[in-house]
Amino acid sequence: MADGDGKTVLVTGGTGYLAGWCIAELLRRGYRVRTTVRNPSREPEIRAAIGTLTDSHHNLSVHSADLLSDEHWNLLAVGCDYVLHVASPLPASQPKNADELIVPARDGTLRVVRAALDAGVERIVLTSSVAAIRGGNEGRAVDETIWTDLDASGLTPYVRSKTIAERAAWDLAEERNMRDRIATVNPTVIIGPMLSDDRSASLQVIERLLNGMPAMPRLGFGYVDVRDVADLELRAMTSPEAAGERFVAVTKFLWMSEVAEVLRERLGPRASKVPTRVAPNLLVRAMSLFDGGIRSFVGSLGKRTEYATTKAHDRLGWSPRPVEDSIAETAESLIEHGAVQVPTAHFG
């Protein structure tokens, strides 16, 4: 892929897990980057995280902006060649009021897309989710032509928020006859190394397995490495083939029991707490009454959803790393950052 040639990219949500990797990769490829934070006091935190990967700090500027406010977005978009809209809430558990997620996701997306289109940027890459694809379609093979059915029963606020926000972005672009200015990347569960101690909720499955639980629910997810998602975002940003298109970002579907096997194989004694038993669905449903993290996924128990990725591979040349490597590196990173406590007797 070509270097940035000094072009400028606006990346929203600079303190986020995926945003950090996107920023670092952009800087390494020679782009100038503007990123946004709600709290400007977090700028040193961003620079410290990015500094673990690149020393191109002189090409990074950090700006205050809030997705719930119109202020600053128009000014930040002016002079940018591209926009990566990465910022969006990803809760550890679902709120009782769905609007707590839907409103900032939808309105924030519209603020960013509107400002970017007004500023005449070449491409806006919106980070959506397979949540905008799989809702009501669990247990079947799906691709980018499929949309979550908002009338389906049991949709979580997160699934609704990602679907509504992405649809709103496409509707706005089409109203302006600018569909080709937009591309979306729809990742599955994002895993991989952490850049700071501030870990993403998307690492929760591996974290829970390493910290131990009596038994695993019969749940499975598609997984993808954060570095590969960042790479796909940049490919979608610059490739003519990405204009007006959605791209699923997934490496492989694995049941939690399969993730557990990888952890035991790769980490040995350090994975001693990883469970070996699979819990009956009835028990998991009962547990979900008391555990918001489990409640979010009860509707997917026992369902295998396969996502087609031929579009990203064939059109953009995307080639993600093996998911087993990503799982192992995620675990190593969680241990390194103190998110998982491994008994010292297990070292050596």
pLDDT band at 344 (very low <50, low <70, confident <90, very high): low
Q: What span, in angstroms and rounded, lies between the C-alpha atoms of 245 and 102?
A: 23
Cβ contact 62:40 at 8 Å: yes
| Other beta carbons less than 10 A from residue 3's beta carbon | 10
Confidence (pTM): 0.93
Q: Cα–Cα–Cα angle for 125, 296, 218, nearest 5°?
A: 105
Token code pair at residue 117: 């289109």
Place of tokens 């003519």: 240
**What are φ and ψ of residue 84, in 5° steps?**
-110, 110
pLDDT band at 167 (very low <50, low <70, confident <90, very high): very high
Q: Residue 125, class by beta-carbon neighbours within 10 Å (0-12 exposed, 13-18 middle, 19+ buried)?
A: buried
Token code pair at residue 123: 């491409």
Q: What span, in angstroms and rounded, lies between the C-alpha atoms of 222 and 304?
A: 9
User: Which pLDDT value is given to residue 230?
Assistant: 98
Q: What span, in angstroms and rounded, lies between the C-alpha atoms of 295 and 286?
A: 10
Give start and end residues of each alpha helix (H) in the chain: 17-28, 43-50, 73-77, 99-119, 131-134, 157-175, 204-211, 226-238, 256-267, 281-288, 292-295, 310-316, 323-336
| Other beta carbons less than 10 A from residue 203's beta carbon | 22
Tell which residue, 195, 266, 180, has the closest CA to residue 230.
195
Residues 236-245 have pLDDT tens digits of 999 999 999 9
Cβ contact 316:234 at 8 Å: no
Single-letter residue type at 14: G
Residues 19-36 have pLDDT tens digits of 999 999 999 999 999 999
Residues 44-88 have pLDDT tens digits of 999 999 998 988 889 999 999 999 899 999 999 999 999 999 987
Which active-site residues does the annotation give?
162
Q: What span, in angstroms and rounded, lies between the C-alpha atoms of 165 and 107?
A: 8
Residues 261-308 have pLDDT tens digits of 999 999 999 999 999 999 888 887 887 777 766 666 777 788 899 999
Q: What span, in angstroms and rounded, lies between the C-alpha atoms of 104 and 66?
A: 10
Cβ contact 19:13 at 8 Å: yes
User: Which pLDDT value is given to residue 93?
Assistant: 61
User: Which pLDDT value is given to residue 139?
Assistant: 84
Residues 41-54 have pLDDT tens digits of 999 999 999 998 98
